[in-house]
Amino acid sequence: MKNIWDALIDFMYTLKDVLQITSAWRVAALVIDITLVAFIVYYVIRIIKQTRAEQIVKGILILFILMIVSKALNLVILDFILTNIMTYGMLLFIVVFQPELRNAFEKLGRKKIVDIFDFDDKLKNKQIVSEIVKAVEIMSLKKIGALIVIEQSTKISDIAREGIDLSAKVSSELLQTIFIPRTPLHDGAVVIGDNKIKAASCVLPLASENVVPKDLGTRHRAAVGMSEVSDALVIVVSEETGTISFVESGKMKRDLTGEKLTSILLKGMDKNKDKIVATKMKENIRSQQ
């Protein structure tokens, strides 16, 4: 036990010398150093996930691990081959993926710190809600009928699959274009999830006529029906009156302004996020028991 303790003390002193921990300033500098390295690694991982380089980087990591093993076991030939591959392979990687690397650095220059780290998830929700509400207000003024479903924790992939796949960025212009009368996609619902427009021209389950007031049409029945079988947030714009309605859990709020709709959507999306976090915590507790 004493030998282990002595070895641990020796290791700590060695680590202190390597990290040059000689003063309080050096400790602060070390914290800054580690933070910057963590940031760089995190951002590089995000860049890789958004490009075709992901699989190649995985291959490079495997080669790097093999190189460490070959050095540890003194496998001279394998070590020679892998060392040369890693040396020239990195140069090839930079040349081949030069456009992706350039775009990544341009994005880094344009972004704010809060965007890079994604500390404020509410920012994305605000951007999406802003685009949706902008489109809804314009369609309301022009009396263009619309039906928009925002997916929450209950996945509705089966409904999105039956529609026309879009996988497009959420924008006011695209939403308005989809619902223009007599266009191929206007008849049906738009499904929004995972920060994108998943599909258009989707068919939703209808609520019974007894649940929905008789003065409302098929869009409103579909909105209520969708909210009864999932926790989705549903927005309806009436083609006859231009009235904006919101439906959640089978309950409908009518005659909404853009400001009121924005408040309701943000509240609903934040509530869903809290629900997901709570569910994950429960799952972690169960797995530890």
The listed range with the strongest mean pLDDT (68-72, 152-156, 199-203, 207-211) is: 199-203
Mean pLDDT score, 40-53: 66
The angle, 0 to 180 degrees and rounded to 10, between the axes of the packed helices 122-142 and 258-288 is 140
Distance (Å, rounded) from C-alpha 214 to C-alpha 104?
A: 54
Distances (CA, A) of 98 to 30, 49, 108, 112: 32, 16, 15, 23
Mean pLDDT score, 126-131: 92
pLDDT at 13: 60
pLDDT at 25: 74
pLDDT at 220: 93
Q: Which residue has the tokens 């206007």?
A: 186
Q: Which two tokens stand for residue 93?
A: 């990687």
End-to-end CA distance of the chain: 32
The listed range with the strongest mean pLDDT (43-47, 148-152, 206-210) is: 148-152
Residue 258 has pLDDT above 80, yes or no: yes
Catalogue all structural domains in the chain, each as residue range(s) with its CATH number: 2-116 (no CATH), 122-282 (3.40.1700.10)
Mean pLDDT score, 162-188: 93
Mean pLDDT score, 115-144: 82
pLDDT at 72: 83
pLDDT range class, residue 40, cuts 50, 70, 90? confident
Mean pLDDT score, 33-61: 72
pLDDT range class, residue 275, cuts 50, 70, 90? low
The listed range with the strongest mean pLDDT (138-147, 181-190, 208-217) is: 138-147
**Residue partners of 270: CB distance under 8 A and separation at least 6:** 122, 125
pLDDT at 6: 65
Mean pLDDT score, 35-54: 71
Provide the 3-class DSSP secondary structure of residue 75: coil
Q: Which two tokens stand for residue 22?
A: 């000689």
**Got the DSSP string for 239-288?**
TTT--EEEEETTEEE-S--HHHHHHHHHHHHHHHHHHHHHHHHHHHHHHH
Q: What is the chain's length?
A: 289
pLDDT at 114: 46
Helix (H) or strand (E) holding 191: strand 189-193
Each residue's pLDDT tens digit, 108-122: 555 554 454 444 566
